[in-house]
Amino acid sequence: MYVIIVFFDNCEDLSKMNKILRHIRIICLLALIGLPAMSVVAQKQKIKNLPYYDQRLLHWGFSFGFSMPTITINHSGNEAAEGWWATCPKVNPSFQVGLMGDLAITEHLNFRVTPFLYFQERTVRFERETLEGREQTNQQLKTTYIEIPATLKISTRRINNYRPYLVAGAHLNFDIGKEKETPIVFKRLDLGIHMGMGCDFYLPFFKLAPELRFNLGLLDMIDHKRKDLKDLTLMPYTEAIMSARNTGLSFILWFE
């Protein structure tokens, strides 16, 4: 949490910062409430499915999920922006698929590498006040990310066929498609951190784990140089934004 607070010290858009921190507090609160509650559930012992599953050193799996990606925008106040300011008013649910390789370090600690493929579409709205009224233009920002996360998974003890856990780690994103001649262009590479919580359900033939995860991008994604831009009338849109970072909330179903 200290790293995130220091990272946002220089951000001008306090409302965006508060919104992100609120997501983090919600996840932490759910963890504080949910994990102890799960620890006292089912005092009576039941027949365990996959009783020796967690004794394996390596685990493999795959996932499906949905995310709600958005963009945290800080404005430059630059005169070259010609009065434009940007928002991300519409969040479109995106689909993701992934693979999972899990190494058991201890009984309660695992290290995971979980590459994802994301299909995202976000709306960026530009507005400005003119003598004729408010002028507005929208851009659909479509990205296809390959994400490579490195994650630590901290689990409680197994309770019959349930096992709550927390996750935290870092990830690298690479956009395999890049648009040109648009108001703004995102860079291909992004570095971020993530945290979340979930619960392993041991079923008769496989393990299912629903997980809620918050993702926070650390890098400014705006391409400010725009060397590829031929239509210079689009440059004020880029000049209006000082920085833009990826954020999002994901719901993932793991199958092992």
Positions of E strands within 131-161: 133-155
Domains and their CATH numbers in the chain:
2-39+58-255 (2.40.160.20)
pTM (2 d.p.):
0.77
Residues of the chain with pLDDT > 70, as a percent, come to 82
Is 50 exceeded by the pLDDT of residue 250? yes
3-state secondary structure of 114: coil
Residue 243 contacts residue 217 (beta carbons within 8 Å)? no
Better-scored residue on pLDDT, 115 or 133: 115
Contacts of residue 194, defined as CB under 8 A and 6 or more positions apart, other chains included, come to 149, 151, 167, 168, 169, 170, 171, 213, 214, 215, 216
Is 50 exceeded by the pLDDT of residue 131? yes
Residue 99 contacts residue 115 (beta carbons within 8 Å)? yes
pLDDT tens for residues 144-177? 899 999 999 999 999 999 999 999 999 999 998 7
Q: What is the pLDDT of residue 3?
A: 38
Q: Report residue 197 as tokens.
A: 């919580």
Is 80 exceeded by the pLDDT of residue 136? yes
pLDDT tens for residues 176-208? 877 777 889 899 999 999 999 999 999 999 999
Contacts of residue 182, defined as CB under 8 A and 6 or more positions apart, other chains included, come to 139, 234
Residue range 19-35: average pLDDT? 59
Model confidence at 12, pLDDT cuts 50, 70, 90, reads very low
Is 90 exceeded by the pLDDT of residue 244? yes
Q: What is the pLDDT of residue 237?
A: 92
